[in-house]
Structure 1
Amino acid sequence: MTSAAETGYVGNLTLSEEEKLREFWRILIQSWDEEVPSPDGASAGNSDSTPKSHRRFFSLTRSPTQPTEEETSAIPAKQLATLKNLNASPAETKTVQSLLLKLPGDRLRSALLTILKQDHPDALLLRFLRAEKWNVPKAWIKLVTALNWRVNEYKVDEEVLLKGEAYALEKSQMEGDSSEKKDSEGFMLQATTGKGHFHGCDRMGRPICAIRVRIHDPSTQTQKGLNDFIIQCIETVRLLQVPPVESMAIVFDLTSFTLGNWEFPPVKFIIDCFQENYPESLGAMIFYNAPWIFSSFWKMISGILDPVVAAKVHFITGAKALEELIPRENILKELGGEEDWEYEYVEPVAGENDKLNDTAARDTILAERNSLGADLFSLTTQWIANPKTDLESRDQVVEKLRKNYWDLDPYVRARTVLDRTGVIKGDGTVNFYPAAKGESTEKPTIAENLDETPVPVAA
């Protein structure tokens, strides 16, 4: 959620920002479609057609060495021309080559449709553009690096989302002492204790993740088990971000924090995820009731924060100050507020993931998604060529892609505690405050909980 005056988001772009978005789409689609034209005036020839710069006599500096033809062999000719037109540096061009060797065009296209989920495609690209200060080549590199991490390195969809809580619960109960059992035990420890859990939203409609740092014991889980849980949380919170909300708030509850709770690797992992793989997804990072001993640890944390994320960090003491972020009636009692709610883990139930095994139905929905993707890219190409193109048809395809994801969701994502407790509905509807059985207490809807103007958080 952004203020009415803040640009750079879907529905609120300046002419310059919209042009950058079209250029991002151009260079992205050119990764797999050679028919997308290069910008006017850009040559689609090979690197030898680029005018050679003249060396100046007595110059103490040298121009960067241009990539050779071999060093750009994986880059489609028109995409290479676009990179030159956008003044991509030789190092950036070589990075594009490296990434396309790891994630060639067709796989990149598939990965993009996967990461989109229910998001507006423009919103996804704009996250990376804002993170890279509207530098298109850098934004492409950041996006494709994140896609490569997701697909080739961490394997988020296969190893985390498809397996989920039910798989971890089953493996944690195995006999023996295997690494998979230990990882699963660590994963389930996070889920069952509520060390990190989602509940409610702040004044700007952003879903809130509360982390009870006092519960953390570094010796009770493997790093992989903890990291997998963190990734599942970040992926799940994406489903809670209902437009125009595009980010989340994290509250690190440092009440009763001790030296024994401190562990740097998971903190670094969270920060790296938000800075590199899920940019512009963090709206606020709150350190609540931090004791004086935390100051030395903060020096370590602040040293790895980029300026964009650092600007979203706030130290808050007491519920009164927290009210600037969350209405008092929605602040949990354990944080000094009025809401009488406690986290309770609901275990997986038999049959909840049966659709994960129905590959025929999954493939049918994926085929529809692939077709809708082709329509999106075709209509986007028309928009690139003619900025005055009527976008109504494109908007309709975007909405169909959103609905398609929710048809696909139960076939590719294992159910979570938020599905079982009614926070996430099957059609993508989100209820941050579902009533317990037998209760009829009404909580504000997302729309009712949004302030027209964001309230600054006390630093």
Structure 2
Amino acid sequence: MAGGTANPLPIDGVVGKLTPQQQSSLKDMWREFLQLIDSAPKEGSGGVSEVQVVDEKAPGNSIPKDDNAKERMKAEQETRDAKAAFAEYGSLRFLESYWRFIAMDDPDNIMLRFLRARKWSTSAGVAMLAACIKWRMGSDVEDIFRKGEEGMQGAEGFIKQMEIGKTYTQGTDHYGRPVIYIHVAKHRTFDQSAKALEDFVLFQMESVRCLFADAVDKVVMVFDMTGFGIRNIDWRCILFIVKCLEAYYPESLNVMLIHNAPWVFQGIWKLLGPMLDPVVRNKISMTKSTDDLVVHVPKKHLVKELGGENAWKWEYPPIVPGENAPQSDTEGRKKALAARDAIIAEYLEITRQWINSDDPLVEKKRQRVVNLMKAQYYELDPFIRGRGAYHRHGNIVGNGLVTFDYPTVAGERAEGEWECLGYSGCREQVLLNAEKLEKEIKELQGSASS
């Protein structure tokens, strides 16, 4: 269905906007999650379970067409994966991967993503999260995360996909969500290996997370189908992206706009539509005109080739030799990781108290640690995350701020053509938040003792 109405930012079900029942569900999820970790062996067996492979010749053969059957199949698989995660990797390795996944985020935000994705069922949410962490450990996500583009440039076709501008993130929608453009006609199945393609998709997913600012945690995806033909069909890639959106980065898609699809796509949609998770399927909209697109993306932000006023064009910024040099600073990395571990330990201790308490003092202590955790992550990041195009373009500032440039068609700069987001969550602000909370904690403690 074309057009529609742009979705505003959520007003409940997210951090800071929870109903009493949602708050209770969040605590229950933390309780189950920590119980699962406490009961698991610290070290795993090291065995590797079978990996589900997408059949690219007969897409969807293993996927039920009935939505209820799909839900049951996912729940069963996630429960099996959750159990296997601890048996294979142990709780120590699991937690290390979990905290890499959290990165600069509020841990509650990640928990709520999985809770919402599983309709507020805590057991299902925990199973889904554990299955996701297992997948991250078994799919080289953390290695791709660490290497960055400099470390991945030797992978067949990895950099080429960036150089041709197959996909990029540029600008925001009406509510500050990053807009991802995918020019489908530039994709050729055999331009890169299947592994390089999946690694490329994962690197983009991880990179875009750095472009979330303030209360934003979803993206707008524009699939530009202009010039699309049979040669561009890649079932394995399509189903992998869908799987990522459904299971590995849940609740991260605001809307997917299939733009300017030719008639041949109608037959493909008849096959693809029933295979999709109903939540993802309901977020897909077919668009034909610029007017359809500007419902979601301001015309000043929309790229010129799709009818917008933004003359910005993707140019791949070359890798700067040594841009990952901080990773070689053994002492600096060790110190930053030790600081991170100390904050995590403090967070877990106060979270265990918070689960069984309604004391506002405990709540404030936990909020303070979250702010310190966010601030410290920006110090740690250069030691554990490889740099990429969005760092070199200046979109990722490095302290939580995000910038986008919107040049005019004439090439002249004017007011409103440069955007800086993320002030409320940048390192400097969260440190001020932590300082303010520390004062409030002392005041509450003083009142209690008097």
Match in the other structure for 2:139: 154
What secondary structure is seen at the aligned counterpart in 1 of 2:418?
A: coil
Equivalent residue runs for 1:315-394 within 5 Å:
315-390=286-361, 391-394=363-366
Q: Partner amino acid for 2:384?
A: V
Answering whether residue 143 of structure 2 is matched by residue 168 of structure 1, we say no
The structure 2 residue matched to 1:198, chosen from 146, 153, 169, is 169
Kindly indicate whether the alpha-carbon contact (under 8 Å) linking 2:257 and 2:285 is maintained by their aligned counterparts in 1: yes
Kindly indicate whether the alpha-carbon contact (under 8 Å) linking 2:214 and 2:422 is maintained by their aligned counterparts in 1: no
Match in the other structure for 1:17: 22
Q: Partner amino acid for 1:116?
A: I
Match in the other structure for 1:249: 220
Answering whether residue 398 of structure 2 is matched by residue 412 of structure 1, we say no
Q: Distance in 2 between matches of 1:276 and 1:356?
A: 30
Cα gap change, 1:14 to 1:256, in 2 (>3 Å): same
What secondary structure is seen at the aligned counterpart in 1 of 2:263?
A: coil
Q: Distance in 2 between matches of 1:216 and 1:90?
A: 34
Q: 1:387 Cα shift? A: 2.5
Q: 1:90 Cα shift? A: 11
Match in the other structure for 1:29: 34
Cα gap change, 1:313 to 1:101, in 2 (>3 Å): same
Greater share of residues in helix: 2
Query: Kindly, what percent of the aligned residue pairs are identical?
Result: 34
What secondary structure is seen at the aligned counterpart in 2 of 1:138?
A: helix
Match in the other structure for 1:187: 158
Kindly indicate whether the alpha-carbon contact (under 8 Å) linking 1:383 and 1:389 is maintained by their aligned counterparts in 2: no
Equivalent residue runs for 1:18-417 within 5 Å:
18-33=23-38, 96-151=82-137, 153-158=138-143, 160-169=144-153, 171=154, 184-390=155-361, 391-417=363-389
Tell me the TM-score normalised to structure 2 length: 0.79
Structure 1: tracts of 5 or more residues without a match: 35-88, 172-183, 449-459
Q: 1:98 Cα shift? A: 3.2
Kindly indicate whether the alpha-carbon contact (under 8 Å) linking 2:336 and 2:379 is maintained by their aligned counterparts in 1: yes
Tell me the TM-score normalised to structure 1 length: 0.78
The structure 1 residue matched to 2:403, chosen from 431, 451, 458, is 431
Kindly indicate whether the alpha-carbon contact (under 8 Å) linking 1:168 and 1:185 is maintained by their aligned counterparts in 2: no
Larger displacement relative to structure 2 (273-282 or 24-33): 24-33
Q: Distance in 2 between matches of 1:267 and 1:90?
A: 23
Match in the other structure for 1:175: none
Cα gap change, 1:375 to 1:447, in 2 (>3 Å): closer
What secondary structure is seen at the aligned counterpart in 2 of 1:146?
A: helix
Q: Distance in 2 between matches of 1:190 and 1:407?
A: 30
Aligned length: 378
Q: Partner amino acid for 1:216?
A: H
Q: Partner amino acid for 1:246?
A: D
Cα gap change, 1:196 to 1:365, in 2 (>3 Å): same
Q: 1:338 Cα shift? A: 1.4
Determine which structure has more spread, i.e. the larger CA radius of gyration: 1
| Alignment deviations for residues 105-130 of structure 1 (CA, whole Å, 9 cap, x no partner) | 22222222111000111000000000
Kindly indicate whether the alpha-carbon contact (under 8 Å) linking 2:312 and 2:405 is maintained by their aligned counterparts in 1: no
What secondary structure is seen at the aligned counterpart in 1 of 2:275?
A: coil
| Alignment deviations for residues 337-359 of structure 1 (CA, whole Å, 9 cap, x no partner) | 11111110011112211112123
Q: 1:146 Cα shift? A: 0.5
Match in the other structure for 2:418: 443
Cα gap change, 1:382 to 1:398, in 2 (>3 Å): same
Q: Distance in 2 between matches of 1:318 and 1:2?
A: 19
Cα gap change, 1:398 to 1:291, in 2 (>3 Å): same
| Alignment deviations for residues 400-423 of structure 1 (CA, whole Å, 9 cap, x no partner) | 111111111111111101100100
What secondary structure is seen at the aligned counterpart in 2 of 1:343?
A: coil
| Alignment deviations for residues 356-405 of structure 1 (CA, whole Å, 9 cap, x no partner) | 21232112111111111111111111111113343111111111111111
Q: Distance in 2 between matches of 1:94 and 1:311?
A: 27
Larger displacement relative to structure 2 (1-10 or 318-327): 1-10
Q: Distance in 2 between matches of 1:91 and 1:352?
A: 40
